[in-house]
Amino acid sequence: MRIATWNVNSITARLPRLLAWLEKSGTDVLCLQELKCAEASFPYEPLRELGYEAAVNASGRWNGVAVLSRVGLADVTTGLPGQPGYPDGEAPEARALAATCGPARVWSVYVPNGREVGHDHYAYKLRWLQVLRDAVVEDAAGERPFAVLGDYNIAPTDDDVWDRARFEGLTHVTEPERAALAALRDAGLSDVVPRPLKYDQPFTYWDYRELCFPKNRGMRIDLVYGNQPFANAATDAFVDREERKGKGASDHAPVVVDLEV
């Protein structure tokens, strides 16, 4: 069983590449982030023609997550229980969705960016991550393979950014953010793709600006955090860096995990 996660940075803009990638990659379950569309505009039919059901949490121009599956789609949960809004008091954003796909259960998450250290959005990011941790404890402790996949907007270690000095004082690398990842690990999840062997620096995101991709000035912020049954079932994992190349690419690459289940 092949499970993947991909921040497509607009499913409308990326649809031809998404459909082509699904046809060639052999992916059974795909968690998507940053759809940037309303649910009514989601391309259900082209995906259905390829054999994929879709569960979608999307509300418009920003955010949006989905789970695509060709091995079944059940027990869909839209949003995190108790998820905060931004600003305070606003409706929760479309940043989380869970589904059971065959033998596994997955969450597709698009963690808030945080913008700047000290900004209200940074505090919102940390609150959101705490709610995520609380939401996954029960599934993490279960015997079923379970994972939280998506764009975490956090680089777990200094090795997960191309130059740590360039990020001094910025979001994505701060101790409170990394402590939130540690809280997920304490809840029974682990980083299933810590160091794919195909690349010395397995980044998943490269800014469009300043030739960051050709210069490999990237970050590893798209993560797969799985429970022990999920980790035990994993037989391979990699970042599909080739999908970041060429015209019309997302600024993120897919992260892929193969399971023997």
The domains of the chain are located at 2-259
Angle between helices 175-186 and 120-140 (to 10 degrees): 10
Question: Hey, what CATH topology would domain 2-259 get?
Answer: Deoxyribonuclease I; Chain A (3.60.10)
Output the pLDDT for position 193.
85
Higher model confidence: residue 202 or residue 174?
174
pTM: 0.96
What integer pLDDT is reported at residue 73 of this predicted model?
98
Residue range 52-88, pLDDT digits in tens: 999 999 998 789 999 999 999 999 999 999 999 999 9
pLDDT in the model for residue 195: 58
Core vs surface per residue 30-61: b (16+ CB within 10 A) or e: bbbbbbbbeeeebbeeebeeeebbbbbbbbee
Q: What is the mean pLDDT of residues 25-39?
A: 98
